[in-house]
Structure 1
Amino acid sequence: MIFLENDYLRASFAAKGAELQSLKNKNNNAEYLWSGNPDYWGKFSPVLFPIVGGLKQNTYYYKNKAYLLPRHGFARDKNFELNQIGSTALVFSLKHDEETLKVYPFPFKLQLHYTLTGARLSCSYTVSNPAEDILLFSIGAHPAFATEVNADLAYTDYFLQFNKEESLTYHKIREDLVDHQTATIALSDRKLPLTHELFYDDALIFKTLKSDCISLRNDKNTRGIHFSFKNFPFFGIWSAKDADFVCLEPWQGVADGIDHNQQLEHKEGIIILGPGKQWTGSWGVECF
Structure 2
Amino acid sequence: MITIANEWLRAEISPAGAELKSLKRLEGQHEYLWSADPQYWAKTSPVLFPIVGALKDDTYHYEGRSYRLPRHGFARDKPFDGKLVSPTEAAFTLTDSEETRAVYPFAFQLTLRYRLEGHSITCTYEVRNPSDSQPLLFSIGAHPAFAAPAREGGPAYSDYFLEFPGDEALVCHKLEGNLVSAHTETIALDEHRRLPLRHDLFYADALVLKTLRSKTIILGNTINDRGITFHHEGFSYFGIWAAKDADFVCLEPWCGIADHVGHRQQLEEKEGIQRLEAGDSWTRSWSVNCF
Give the TM-score band, short-chain normalised.
over 0.9
Q: Determine the structure 1 residue equivalent to 2:75.
A: 75
Q: Determine the structure 2 residue equivalent to 1:286.
A: 289
Q: Residues of 2 paired with 1:278 and 1:76: CA distance? A: 21
Q: Residues of 1 paired with 2:149 and 2:11: CA distance? A: 18
Deviation at 1:166, TM superposition (A): 3.1
Q: Determine the structure 2 residue equivalent to 1:114.
A: 114
Deviation digits for residues 21-41 of structure 1 (CA, Å, limit 9, x no counterpart): 000010010100000001000
* 1:10-29 equivalence runs, <5 A: 10-29=10-29
The answer to whether the 8 Å contact 1:166/1:210 transfers is no
Gaps of 5+ in 2: none
Deviation at 1:163, TM superposition (A): 2.2
The answer to whether the 8 Å contact 1:231/1:280 transfers is no
**Percent of aligned pairs sharing the same letter:** 56
1:263 aligns with 2:266: yes
SS class of match (1:125): strand
What's the Cα RMSD here? Answer: 0.7
Greater CA drift, 146-155 or 112-121: 146-155
1:245 aligns with 2:248: yes
SS class of match (1:37): coil
Q: Residues of 2 paired with 1:217 and 1:31: CA distance? A: 14
* 1:150-189 equivalence runs, <5 A: 150-151=151-152, 152-188=154-190, 189=192
* 1:37-48 equivalence runs, <5 A: 37-48=37-48
Q: Residues of 1 paired with 2:240 and 2:28: CA distance? A: 28
Deviation at 1:165, TM superposition (A): 2.8
* 1:88-99 equivalence runs, <5 A: 88-99=88-99
Q: Residues of 2 paired with 1:271 and 1:167: CA distance? A: 28
Q: Determine the structure 1 residue equivalent to 2:138.
A: 137
Q: Determine the structure 1 residue equivalent to 2:209.
A: 206
Q: Residues of 1 paired with 2:195 and 2:243: CA distance? A: 18
Q: Which residue identity is paired with 2:184?
A: T
Q: Residues of 2 paired with 1:2 and 1:121: CA distance? A: 15
Greater CA drift, 80-89 or 32-41: 80-89
Q: Residues of 1 paired with 2:225 and 2:150: CA distance? A: 15
* 1:45-56 equivalence runs, <5 A: 45-56=45-56
> Which 4+ stretches in 1 moved above 2 angstroms?
none
Q: Residues of 2 paired with 1:91 and 1:230: CA distance? A: 20
Q: Residues of 2 paired with 1:12 and 1:106: CA distance? A: 30
Q: Which residue identity is paired with 2:134?
A: D
Gaps of 5+ in 1: none
With normalisation by structure 2, the TM-score equals: 0.98
The answer to whether the 8 Å contact 1:217/1:224 transfers is yes
Q: Determine the structure 2 residue equivalent to 1:216.
A: 219
Q: Residues of 2 paired with 1:231 and 1:280: CA distance? A: 9
Q: Residues of 1 paired with 2:18 and 2:288: CA distance? A: 17
Q: Which residue identity is paired with 1:133?
A: Q
SS class of match (1:156): helix
The answer to whether the 8 Å contact 1:163/1:213 transfers is yes
Deviation digits for residues 5-54 of structure 1 (CA, Å, limit 9, x no counterpart): 11000110100100000000100101000000010000000000000000
Q: Residues of 1 paired with 2:167 and 2:67: CA distance? A: 41
Deviation at 1:84, TM superposition (A): 4.1
Deviation digits for residues 213-251 of structure 1 (CA, Å, limit 9, x no counterpart): 100000000000000011111000000000000000000
Number of residue pairs the alignment of both structures matches: 288
Q: Determine the structure 1 residue equivalent to 2:197.
A: 194
The answer to whether the 8 Å contact 1:55/1:70 transfers is yes
* 1:118-129 equivalence runs, <5 A: 118-129=118-129
